[in-house]
Amino acid sequence: MVGRRFQVCHNDTYFDVDYDTDDGFEVFKFQLFSLTSVPPDDQKIVGVDDDRTVSTDSDLASISEKLRLVSIDEEVKEVENQQSCSGNDAELLKSDEELARMLQAEEDALLFQRFVAAEDNSEFEGRVRPYVDQVRLEAARKTVSKEELEEKALVSLAKEGNFKPSKAQEDHAFLLQLLFWFKQSFRWVNEPPCDRCGNNTVSQGMGAALPSELGFGGSRVEIYSFSFNWLLFHIFVCEMGKNADLVVLPSLPCTFCRTITRFPRYNDPLKLVETRRGRCGEWANCFTLYCRAFGYESRLILDFTDHVWTECFSPSLGRWMHLDPCEGVYDRPLLYEQGWKKKLTYVIAIAKDGVCDVTKRYTRKWFEVLSRRNIITESALSSVLTKITKECRRGFTSQVLSVLEDRDEKERQALERDLHSKEDASISLPGRQSGDKEWRKLRSELGSDSLSCSSCPVRVCIDEHVSRIHEAFLPLLSYFVKEELSQSRALEVLGILKGILMDLQKSPFKTRRTSLDSGLSINQSFVHQLLPSLDDLLKALSLTSKVDSDGRIDVCLAGNPVHTSLALPVALDAFDDAIHNIKNCGHLNKDSLSLPLLKSNRIHSGSVLASGEEIPVGIATSAFDGIQMTKWEEPNGARGCWIIYKLSDSQKHKLVAYELMSANDAPERDPMDWVLEGSDDEGSNWHILDKQTSQKFGSRFQRRTYRVASSSLPSNTFRFRFLAVRDVHSTSRLQIDEKEVSAMPFF
């Protein structure tokens, strides 16, 4: 338990430190070492009020809360600075969990020095060996659906227009999908839930590791249990007296459970593959294993200011790439200095073939960082890293050494270039997202809640398949009208067809195949009559139908499977939309075959430019991709923003109608007032085509159709100017799920 809270002054810097009576004075000195880099044996701790030296637990129990830490070699200088220590009123960091985190920081800071002090590389090898052990690599691979990530990687490239990527591009895209998968599958632990009842717990300090925990590197074990104070509760009930029946039980963690929950801080990535939980050390530890399991050159990045992440070498980029699994962020090395506001010191890359200092990649304030690097001189640091790297590469062939040394030199040059490169002021890097908010606040790592861009690139919409899918519903619905299907029967057939597409979507993407009539509760002759009306839809999905000798109709791939993977989510959403509209149209007839049921003449394949966007999931083209679960999000668009769509062939079109769909959440971000403009000279001059005010979406994923006056100006460029969202006082953001623009060519 925390016995005292001290404010410690060292070299004009103030630290707030919790003293845990269970851990004792020696651990307290190591805490100070992790914060100040003054070794425990060189520390002299004195009270600010009476200059009394502190050397035992009893001294700490009887002295005031304000202390001074003096390095024995700098005692004279510390005495001169005594006056500056007495007036600081810094906010205290108070929690048992914070103590555990400081101990983790101590462990990280000592890691590098353990490498330095070792006579051989056994310590380093022990840390690296798990990442190349084939048993561990295979265990990691078995927990991942490789084909699913491959499909997502190829679809992400296809959305950029790259349907035939190189091996390097495909590997790069797969790595990003692995990062996103890991972010969703691994769990951050603030306080672990109770092992018995699953309720909340609170820290009870540190415990001794069990042999089973030590076997997986869990030498440090945090202890948690219930936090309900039964004594206070008993007094509370007694005070209520006769009104005890009015007592309302507060929301209490683990109220009736006295189970002790252990949280071993495992270092072995094999165990972490099993537990899938932890904090930044465990996250980076385990993610690095996954990267190596799929063949990526990977290294662990140790930040001496208490964070750990991963770097992988990307052949596609020709360099090492930053990946933070805790945040799900990649290739944003200034995240910590600019987004988290960290005061970096040493950032060391640890790999199986060596170690190197990569701090310059992560800062644009090198001279400030340099002033804080006081553990070792720069020349000594370089010598130590070179020595360890040579030991790691002992036994390598001359050819391998030549390749590594050439890459090392290129990286050194790149680090120098990075240090002096100009910052991209349009990119807004977020504060820390992982961990409890109060903990992040205490560490001063809060900031914006997203990665965004205020100066977007021109993006090309890869959405021809969306238009083809919408057009393909005309023959299908026309068949329903011709055969005079009742509303209920039409809904039944659409539901069954949607189910068949869902089965296709769940099947392996490279060999998709299903039977068209396997799910239809109708006679075979109807299926064969229906088939011609499905031809356009199947072609839009890069599928084809085949009839066997028994009259069975199979649906299978007709081309590049990525085309089908890209189009299937659009088709499923289109079926949902058609089902919704048929339910609302009453009687299905020829008059029904128009907007909003049918979306003919949808323009596509244009280029898009926006005032801002969320990266990477809220980019501007998401408004035109035909998928409900994506959206365009403008981080600063609540009081005004814009998005421009320019036709690919510059041919003029006369706008007929457009549709907007509300996004999945946050109704306060829905657009309320906007102006739609057209230009016949590619954006030099604009004319108003439509204007809407006080519009409100009644639900999520609600689609609203707006028809445009027949006298609208033929245009080759369209601009939406959103003037205000539904609640400008509660959000700075605007978001929209889909935009569909229907226009007739003008000759």
CATH number at residue 143: 3.10.620.30
Structure confidence at residue 651 (pLDDT) = 86
Last residue of a domain, one of 39, 61, 94: 94
* Residue 288 forms part of a structural domain: yes
Same domain, 585 and 621: no
Q: Which domain holds residue 626?
A: 607-745
Given 307, 563, 604, 653, the catalytic residue: 307
Same domain, 417 and 285: yes
Same domain, 158 and 88: no
CA-based end-to-end distance of the chain: 81
Same domain, 13 and 161: no
Residue 660 DSSP symbol: E
Same domain, 619 and 739: yes
In degrees and rounded to multiples of 5, residue 170 shows phi and psi of -65, -40
Three-class secondary structure of residue 243 per DSSP: helix
Structure confidence at residue 649 (pLDDT) = 82
* Residue 451 forms part of a structural domain: no
Same domain, 13 and 160: no
pTM assigned to the model:
0.78
* Residue 711 forms part of a structural domain: yes
* Residue 224 forms part of a structural domain: no
Same domain, 141 and 90: no
Same domain, 290 and 355: yes
Given 20, 96, 303, 324, the catalytic residue: 324
* Residue 434 forms part of a structural domain: no
Structure confidence at residue 94 (pLDDT) = 41
CA 444/CA 341 separation, integer angstroms: 7
Structure confidence at residue 106 (pLDDT) = 47
Active site residue 254: no
The alpha carbon of residue 407 and the mean position of all alpha carbons in its chain are separated, in whole angstroms, by: 30
Structure confidence at residue 130 (pLDDT) = 57
* Residue 531 forms part of a structural domain: yes
Active site residue 324: yes
* Residue 131 forms part of a structural domain: yes
The alpha carbon of residue 481 and the mean position of all alpha carbons in its chain are separated, in whole angstroms, by: 47
Same domain, 145 and 289: yes
Structure confidence at residue 114 (pLDDT) = 46
Number of domains within the chain: 4
For the packed helices 464-482 and 561-585, what is the interaxial angle rounded to 10 degrees? 50
Last residue of a domain, one of 592, 627, 654: 592
* Residue 150 forms part of a structural domain: yes
CA 126/CA 369 separation, integer angstroms: 30
Same domain, 146 and 293: yes
Token pair recorded at residue 140: 């990691």
Given 9, 85, 280, 392, the catalytic residue: 280
Same domain, 147 and 171: yes
CATH number at residue 82: 3.10.20.90
Structure confidence at residue 510 (pLDDT) = 95
Would you say 323 and 330 are in contact if contact means Cβ atoms under 8 Å apart? yes
Last residue of a domain, one of 26, 61, 94: 94
CATH number at residue 632: 2.60.120.260
Same domain, 497 and 399: no
Q: Mean pLDDT in each 10-residue stretch from start to end of the chain (747 residues)?
A: 76 79 72 72 82 82 84 48 37 46 50 47 52 76 95 97 96 97 94 86 90 91 73 50 45 57 91 92 93 94 93 94 96 95 94 93 93 90 91 93 94 90 80 88 84 85 96 94 91 92 94 77 75 95 90 90 97 95 86 86 94 92 94 95 92 92 96 96 93 96 90 90 97 92 65
